Amino acid sequence: MKVLLRYHVENLGRRGEVVRVKDGYGRNHLLPKGLAVSVSEENRRRLESQKERFLQEELRRVDEFKAMADKLTALKLVIIEARASSEGHLYGSVGAVQIQAELKEQGFAVDQRSVRIEEPIRRTGTHEVHVHLHPEVDAHILCWVTEEGADADPADAPPVGGWPEEEESKEGAEDEEESDEAEPKASESD
């Protein structure tokens, strides 16, 4: 079945495109929800006449989403409390629902489907989260998952992947081992 899209449909096509879909998807989802219409010259003309107005509206929406993305990026850190063991493993996980709820508390009207994380968060610490606001606009925020009841000061939040001192101390220990091994070789050649 071929349909003419009236709106952008993620993973399918943009407004005004003619796309081929399975009959059931077209009849049961796209057509009843008004996302698409059947392909005809009249529907093409009607969509073409609305194109100018739609482009202006779309530019306005993109600007709004870019402003929201800037505010989200400026937010820097979203703090979520969860029950966790002493080793930092969560009892359960933190997903898009909890992140969306926290963003809503802070005044951001973000849809749950817009919050994109690769997999549910199962450890305390700082994690990068992508917020997909529009096909052309994404925001990246940091989500700090802390143990429930702990005092969470944003200044104390670890960077994504842990504290740099831990990595530097590991690298420093490896450098010392290499320098210890290198010294005897130099003295053997003398």
Q: Which residue has the tokens 């979203």?
A: 78
Same domain, 43 and 65: no
The domain in which residue 27 lies consists of: 2-49
147 Ramachandran zone, left/alpha/beta (phi>0; psi -120 to 50): beta
Same domain, 69 and 156: yes
Q: What secondary structure letter does DSSP report for 190?
A: -
Q: Distance between CA 93 and CA 25 in Å, rounded? A: 33
Q: Tell me what pLDDT residue 78 has.
A: 79
The count of domains in the chain is 2
Specify the CATH number for the domain of residue 40.
Answer: 3.40.5.10
Residues 6 or more apart in contact with residue 8 via CB below 8 angstroms: 14, 15, 135
Q: Tell me what pLDDT residue 187 has.
A: 47
Q: Tell me what pLDDT residue 178 has.
A: 52
Q: Tell me what pLDDT residue 88 has.
A: 85
**Sign of the dihedral defined by the CA atoms of residues 71, 74, 77, 79, in that order:** negative
Q: Distance between CA 19 and CA 175 in Å, rounded? A: 59
Q: Tell me what pLDDT residue 81 has.
A: 86
Domain annotation covers residue 121? yes
Same domain, 122 and 144: yes
Q: Tell me what pLDDT residue 157 has.
A: 61
Same domain, 88 and 33: no
Same domain, 112 and 161: yes
Q: Which residue has the tokens 């005004």?
A: 16
Q: Tell me what pLDDT residue 190 has.
A: 44
161 Ramachandran zone, left/alpha/beta (phi>0; psi -120 to 50): left
Same domain, 45 and 76: no
Q: Tell me what pLDDT residue 22 has.
A: 95
Please work out, in degrees rounded to the nearest 5, the angle formed at the alpha carbon of residue 82 by the alpha carbons of 115 and 101: 35
Over the chain (190 residues), what is each successive 10-residue block's mean pLDDT? 88 88 94 92 86 86 91 80 87 90 89 89 88 88 82 61 46 50 49
User: In which element (H, E) is residue 53 found?
Assistant: helix 51-75
Domain annotation covers residue 108? yes
Q: Tell me what pLDDT residue 63 has.
A: 93
Same domain, 104 and 71: yes
Token duo for residue 112: 């749950």
Query: Strands 137-147 and 77-82, how do they pair?
Result: parallel
Residues 6 or more apart in contact with residue 132 via CB below 8 angstroms: 114, 116, 138
Same domain, 44 and 81: no
Domain annotation covers residue 182? no
